[in-house]
Amino acid sequence: MLNTKPSLVSATVLSNEVVMPGVFSLRLYCPEIAAAARPGQFVMLKCGESLLLRRPISISDANAPSGQIGLMIALIGKGTDWLSRRQPGEELDVLGPLGNSFEIDDRAERLLLVAGGMGIAPLNFLANKAAALGKNVTLILGARTGELLCPSSHLPDVNECVLCTEDASVGIKGRVTDCPDAHVEMVQQIFACGPLPMYRALAKDPRFKNKPMQLSLEVRMACGIGLCYGCTVNTRQGLKQVCQDGPVFEAQDILWQELADL
């Protein structure tokens, strides 16, 4: 989970495509970041001259030989709207990689990845790394409706993919915690990324809380480099900054009752 030294670079936009309603994918050429990036880390993107604060975006994949990184971004404001209109050949001001990373136990052969909605972004990167290590990977992906599920063309190649939708339009009816027991019992490590209600449900479910589980906290960030303390959370080890000490934490270290809605 060690942090890597970030770089401030001018990255070239290689492609910009719609993934699903309200979500787009940017592919950037930035060799320095691609070579250093680890699953779970993020970048801070400058969004035009009129917007002061950068936007934190999880790295969804990185390829050192090609010098490319992929970003999956939800349209949620002026900054991401500006990013959604970038064209191939344009340059973006990018700082990264930032934060710590997921850590796969060498002894763990079977891994479970639990993604809620946009939580698939960092877990996509992790799944590809796990596959390269020869791990057996099961992905549980949940969303409110089938329309909001990441399409198969943007999902990692895993041993098994379990889909859950709250309206039963695709896969299992319900949330990720409604998955069959068999998908949880045989794994040695669990990795999760999604909204706070999903984390609270996982923390209460005995099937999940009794397994080693790392999760990526998604919180509002202003600086991304530990200067503003705006992303501070309370843990069993004291106050931690999500941008510096995270975004990846051990699930049992989080004081859920003290964590405000993100």
Band (50; pLDDT cuts 50, 70, 90): low
- Outline which parts of the chain fall under CATH 3.40.50.80: 110-216
**What is the Cβ-side half-sphere exposure of residue 93, based on CA atoms within 13 angstroms?**
9
Question: What's the whole-number average pLDDT of the chain?
Answer: 91
The residue count of the chain comes to 262
Per the annotation, does 66 bind a ligand? no
16 and 86 Cβ atoms separated by less than 8 Å: yes
Q: Which pLDDT value is given to residue 3?
A: 66
Average pLDDT of the segment spanning 229-241: 88
Question: Residue 238 pairs with which residues in a beta bridge?
Answer: 235
Per the annotation, does 235 bind a ligand? no
Per the annotation, does 164 bind a ligand? no
45-54, 72-81, 188-197, 207-216, range with the lowest pLDDT:
45-54
- 110-216 has CATH 3.30.720.210 classification: no
Per the annotation, does 161 bind a ligand? no
Per the annotation, does 150 bind a ligand? no
Per the annotation, does 120 bind a ligand? no
- Outline which parts of the chain fall under CATH 2.40.30.10: 7-98
* Both tokens assigned to 251: 């699930």
Q: Which pLDDT value is given to residue 36?
A: 97
- Sheet with 136-143: strands ordered across: 172-173, 160-165, 136-143, 110-116, 189-193, 213-216, 248-250
Q: Which pLDDT value is given to residue 261?
A: 54
With 0-12 / 13-18 / 19 or more C-beta atoms within 10 angstroms meaning exposed / middle / buried, residue 211 is middle
Q: How far is CA 67 from CA 3, 29, 54, 199, in A?
A: 20, 6, 22, 33
pLDDT at 45 over 80: yes
Distance CA 71, CA 253 (A): 28
pLDDT at 81 over 60: yes
- 7-98 has CATH 2.60.120.430 classification: no
**pTM reported for the whole predicted model:** 0.93
The pLDDT tens digits of the residues spanning 94-134 come to: 999 999 999 999 999 999 999 999 999 999 999 999 999 99
Per the annotation, does 80 bind a ligand? yes
Per the annotation, does 56 bind a ligand? yes
Per the annotation, does 104 bind a ligand? no
- DSSP secondary-structure letter at 259? P
Q: Which pLDDT value is given to residue 231?
A: 86
Residue with tokens 């089938």: 146
pLDDT at 222 over 60: yes
118 and 148 Cβ atoms separated by less than 8 Å: no
Band (210; pLDDT cuts 50, 70, 90): confident
Per the annotation, does 223 bind a ligand? yes
Percent of the chain at pLDDT > 90 equals: 73
3-state secondary structure of 120: helix
Q: Which pLDDT value is given to residue 170?
A: 93
